[in-house]
């Protein structure tokens, strides 16, 4: 399909391992967001890209979290030395809009998420 694709869907890691989560946005979508959703909670903002530029990374919980989008399309969220509190669903969303003034601002298309369990 033409939706946002995330992989892997499920990842089990031992504490201390590094993990990489991939997001394939909808083709042509300029904006890309990463969110963390703990069980029973709302999505918590992690970081935001506009093309390849990371415009806001204020939500990344520690320097163990790193995100990149080198060619302005596929994005990877990397978590180093995973801890149990990192267990959550990581959501990726993309949007066609570039700025808050555009007609379709805020209309995010979400992937189904990558569920990370750290043992």
Residues whose CB is less than 8 angstroms from the CB of residue 107 and which lie 6 or more positions away in sequence, other chains included: 95, 96, 97
Which parts of this chain interact with other proteins (CB under 8 A)? 3-4, 33, 35, 40-45, 48, 50, 55-56, 58-59, 91, 93, 98-101, 105-113
DSSP type of residue 26: P
User: Least separation, in Å, of the C-beta of 49 and other proteins?
Assistant: 10
| Beta-bridge partner residues of 14 | none
Q: Looking at beta carbons only, is 67 or 108 nearer to other proteins?
A: 108
DSSP state of 85: G
Distance in Å, CB of 72 to other proteins, minimum: 15
């Amino acid at each position: 399909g033409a939706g946002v694709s995330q992989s892997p869907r499920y990842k089990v890691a031992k504490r201390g391992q590094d993990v990489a989560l991939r997001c394939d946005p909808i083709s042509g979508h300029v904006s890309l967001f990463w969110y963390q959703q703990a069980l029973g909670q709302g999505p918590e903002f992690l970081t935001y890209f506009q093309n390849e530029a990371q415009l806001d990374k204020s939500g990344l919980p520690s320097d163990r979290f790193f995100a990149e989008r080198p060619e302005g399309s596929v994005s990877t969220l990397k978590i180093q030395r995973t801890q149990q509190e990192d267990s959550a669903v990581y959501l990726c969303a993309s949007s066609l809009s570039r700025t808050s003034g555009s007609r379709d601002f805020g209309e995010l298309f979400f992937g189904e998420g990558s569920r990370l369990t750290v043992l």
